[in-house]
Amino acid sequence: MRRYHAFDPPEYVDWSPDPETMLEFSRAIERDPERARRIADLTAQRRLEIYAGLLRFRLHDIALKRWVRQGVISKAWLGTGEEATTIGPVHALERGGPNGDVVGPMIRNAGACHEMGMPVADMLRGYLATEDSPNRGRDLHVGGRRYGIVTPISMVGALAAVIAGYGLGFRKLGTKRLALTWVGDGATKAGEVHEAFNLAATQRLPVIFIIQNNQVALGTRLEEHHAADGFAELGRLYGATGAPFDGNNVLDAYAATHWAAEICRAGEGPVFLAAETFRMSGHATHDEKEARELFSEEEFASWGRRDPIGCYGAWLVNGRLNLETGAQCEPGAATGVNSAALEEVEARVTEEVESAAAEALAGRARMPRPESAVEGVYGTWPESGRQEKDRF
Amino acid sequence: MALIAYREALNQALREEMRRDPDVFLMGEEVGAYQGAYKISQGLLEEFGEWRVRDVPIAELGFTGLGVGAAMVGLRPVIEFMTWSFALLAIDGIVNAAAKMRYMSGGQFKIPITFRGPSGAANQLAATHSQALEAWYAHVPGLKVVAPATARDAKGLLKTAIRDDDPVVFLEGEILYATKDEVPEDDEFLLPLGVAEVKRPGKDVTVVAHSRPLHTALRAAETLEREDGISVEVIDPRTLRPMDVDSILDSVRRTNRCVIVEEGWPVCGIGAQIVDDIQREAFDFLDAPIARVTGADAPQPYARNLEQLAFPQAEYVVRAVRQVCYRG
């Protein structure tokens, strides 16, 4: 895959698969026969869709980074290095628009939006805050009701409770739908998150909580805000099911979530999944320099070798499936065909994101009407009530 | 019509709305098996079952968020706070999630949720359990705020609140639960939000009061009529946002004098907003500066004598009315 010298973390620029890291990657998905079976069931087409999803996320972030450099927007919150934790789970859901499963992404899970069906151009319009953006310029945390995406509440942890409420609603309505959200390692320290976890567990709600441990909360390293040993035990502590997954391995993320979804649909939720991953960029684009100082060069190098897209691509190329024919083959027997298949996906997604950026930028002048600032605060308002907005 | 208690009126409203619409459900601490800390949900668990009368742990912020999520799915949650003082723990969910979701999502999500529970002082519950915080909520765009003073208003307004598509903060008078009033038994007895009611007509001075202080004001009006021959018009806004400012202005334009009574603290209170509305729109009609009677500017004391002094008393209202009438 193409690397972007101007935008990628340095560890990604000359990336090539490290044999030991690739062994770890394979071991992670073969360790549990239950997960291995779910992964084996993925057709060539679905494997390529997951690859496309990862790339779409990375390229969406690069488009934003480019805009920051160009002064189009002031800053952006990226998922660099953590793409697998978002993309794998979304591909394990029943994506049925307004009647399917629902996700509540943090801003660092933006990739969930396009994988749930929101056009990348709409996501980018969210940053530009144009009249035609999903939230009409009210917030850059975009959601889309018709795609099953909750508009994120930017208070970290708030979504855990709201998503549990979706689970309550689904359960009450007697549907088999489920709701999923990601909770950062930092947000696990908010009281509301504990309340939400317990409320979901005591009511057995169909909710998947993914603890996305990227080892840092803004500028505070994990060990400074978390004294326990990881998050893998969380489910048990709440009397619910739980399991860890490799947050840089999109297949492990997919398989763990696929398993968790079955548990939820059987009325045995919630499920707590703990993903170990690493933030390769800053909290946002404004503090990338400070972020590099939080961890050693060795830590960046180690996590850099585990680039979720590079690793997954290398696994697909050398894998046991011919991605063109869908037929099984000896490992490494279809590298040429498979590389070509990935290149084709990459060309298509690159074109998609570039067009989306151009399309969004072309509408940059379509800013919300001034009077819309005070519109839509309420659904209904009585005639007898004083209209404070008239003073605007 | 039947003479029933404020508590029973709320119970009727909940029961009728839950029968009418299967999407309506009640959630809160002790609302089910215990039938409500103040017995507002008496009999509801038995009739509607545990999925429509949800007991939840002590987690105000968490179950507020759950309610918002359930509303986003399309249900109509009624969230009970054991008291509004406990809702301080949930205020992030009320202000940042419930009130803003419609706006922030560009209108994609509506949040038809009612937050309700007892507000204000009862008997010696002291500083952390006795607060009248309606001004906090009325400050927030995206919330509607209702504070009924009578059983009739409580029933009609709660039913309307539950049917409303916006988040409604519904503050019940904790001390009013046992007070009785003639209440229509009609299932479709609805009172509109944003409409004040003149509770006692008069011509010399307008007293504006909601919730418990309405009754204080009415007692003061009787005293003033009897002792001073002052004819007091008492008007209850009933909903604080939207506020029926026009009805208050109409009254003030007739009486030319105004006293505003509230249980909350004086600084940035509900009355301060009403004073602002009056001075901007009816300044030339005023014959005296507007007076306010509020809770004392201190945490609520426990000692009975201090507690009495700290809340608006009829004699304080009498004094304020005499002052704006330049008497005594």
Give pLDDT, residue A366. Answer: 95
Quick one: pLDDT band at residue A152, thresholds 50, 70, 90? confident
Residues 91 through 120 of chain B touching chain A, CB cutoff 8 Å: 92-93, 96-97, 100-110
pLDDT in tens, A200-241: 999 999 999 999 999 999 999 999 999 999 999 999 999 999
B263, B236: one domain: yes
Give pLDDT, residue A388. Answer: 64
B60, B103: one domain: yes
From the list A136, A143, A199, which residue is nearest B56 (CB)?
A199
B148, B261: one domain: no
- The answer to whether residue A372 is domain-embedded is no
pLDDT in tens, B213-234: 999 999 999 999 999 999 999 9
Which residues touch B49 (CB under 8 Å, ≥6 apart)?
A: none
pLDDT in tens, A241-276: 999 999 999 999 999 999 999 999 999 999 999 999
Q: Of B183, B217, B250, which one is at a domain's C-terminal end?
A: B183
Min Cα distance B146 → chain A (Å) is 13
Residues from chain A that touch B192, judged by Cβ atoms under 8 A, are 382, 384
Please check whether residue A222 touches B, CB under 8 A.
no
Flag if A195 and B63 touch (Cβ within 8 Å): yes
- The answer to whether residue B191 is domain-embedded is no
Q: Of B139, B160, B183, which one is at a domain's C-terminal end?
A: B183
- The answer to whether residue B188 is domain-embedded is no
**Distance, CA of A217 to chain centre:** 17
Which residues touch B132 (CB under 8 Å, ≥6 apart)?
A: B119, B120, B121, B171, B211, B262, B263, B264, B265, B295
- The answer to whether residue B220 is domain-embedded is yes
Pull the structure tokens for residue A145.
């009701």
Give pLDDT, residue A383. Answer: 80
Give pLDDT, residue A392. Answer: 59
Give pLDDT, residue A382. Answer: 86
Q: Parallel, antiparallel, or unpaired for β B258-261 and B205-209?
A: parallel
B207, B311: one domain: yes
Which residues touch B139 (CB under 8 Å, ≥6 apart)?
A: B268
Which range has the worst mean pLDDT, A137-146, A179-188, B273-282?
A: A137-146
Query: Does pLDDT of A193 surpass 70?
Result: yes
Rounded-to-10 torsion of CA B25, B31, B33, B35: -110
Residue in A with minimal Cα distance to B60: A195
As a whole number of angstroms, the distance between CA A84 and CA B186 comes to 57
Residues 193 through 252 of chain B touching chain A, CB cutoff 8 Å: 193-195, 239, 241-247
Active-site residue among B8, B17, B29, B60?
B60
B178, B256: one domain: no
- The answer to whether residue A78 is domain-embedded is yes
* Radius of gyration from C-alpha coordinates of chain B: 20
- The answer to whether residue B40 is domain-embedded is yes
B139, B231: one domain: no
- The answer to whether residue A3 is domain-embedded is no
Flag if B62 and A164 touch (Cβ within 8 Å): yes
Return per-residue pLDDT of chain B as tens, 328 residues.
Answer: 899 999 999 999 999 999 999 999 999 999 999 999 999 999 999 999 999 999 999 999 999 999 999 999 999 999 999 999 999 999 999 999 999 999 999 999 999 999 999 999 888 888 998 899 999 999 999 999 999 999 999 999 999 999 999 999 999 999 999 999 999 999 999 999 999 999 999 999 999 999 999 999 999 999 999 999 999 999 999 999 999 999 999 999 999 999 999 999 999 999 999 999 999 999 999 999 999 999 999 999 999 999 989 999 999 999 999 999 999 7
Query: ω before B242 within 30° of 0 (cis)?
Result: yes
B175, B113: one domain: yes
Residue-number span of the structural domain to which B212 is assigned = 197-324
Q: H/E element holding A26?
A: helix A19-30
Give pLDDT, residue A385. Answer: 74
CATH number at residue A85: 3.40.50.970
As a whole number of angstroms, the distance between CA B314 and CA B225 comes to 13
Query: Does pLDDT of A387 surpass 80?
Result: no
- The answer to whether residue A194 is domain-embedded is yes
SS (HEC) of B176-212: HCCCEEEECCCCCCCCCCCCCEEEECCCCEEEEECCH
Pull the structure tokens for residue A284.
């946002």
Domain count, chain A: 1
pLDDT in tens, A43-100: 999 999 999 999 999 999 999 999 999 999 999 999 999 999 999 999 999 998 889 9
Strand partners, A216: A221
As a whole number of angstroms, the distance between CA A318 and CA A334 comes to 7
Domain count, chain B: 2
Of A109, A187, A116, give the one whose Cα is nearest residue A155: A187
- The answer to whether residue B90 is domain-embedded is yes
Query: Does pLDDT of A197 surpass 90?
Result: yes
Query: Does pLDDT of A390 surpass 70?
Result: no
Give pLDDT, residue B123. Answer: 85
- The answer to whether residue A144 is domain-embedded is yes
Give pLDDT, residue B87. Answer: 97
Q: Is the dihedral of CA A104, A107, A112, A116 positive or negative?
A: positive
Min Cα distance A84 → chain B (Å) is 26
Query: Does pLDDT of A391 surpass 90?
Result: no
Residue-number span of the structural domain to which A322 is assigned = 15-363
- The answer to whether residue A105 is domain-embedded is yes
- The answer to whether residue A94 is domain-embedded is yes
Residues from chain B that touch A137, judged by Cβ atoms under 8 A, are 106
B29, B140: one domain: yes
B14, B70: one domain: yes
- The answer to whether residue B224 is domain-embedded is yes
CATH number at residue B317: 3.40.50.920
Q: Is the dihedral of CA B85, B89, B94, B96 positive or negative?
A: positive
- The answer to whether residue B287 is domain-embedded is yes
B258, B292: one domain: yes
B306, B210: one domain: yes
- The answer to whether residue B228 is domain-embedded is yes
Which residues touch B204 (CB under 8 Å, ≥6 apart)?
A: B230, B231, B232, B233, B255, B257, B325
Quick one: pLDDT band at residue A389, thresholds 50, 70, 90? low
B157, B263: one domain: no
Percentage of chain A lying above the pLDDT 90 cut: 92
As a whole number of angstroms, the distance between CA B312 and CA A85 comes to 57
- The answer to whether residue A10 is domain-embedded is no
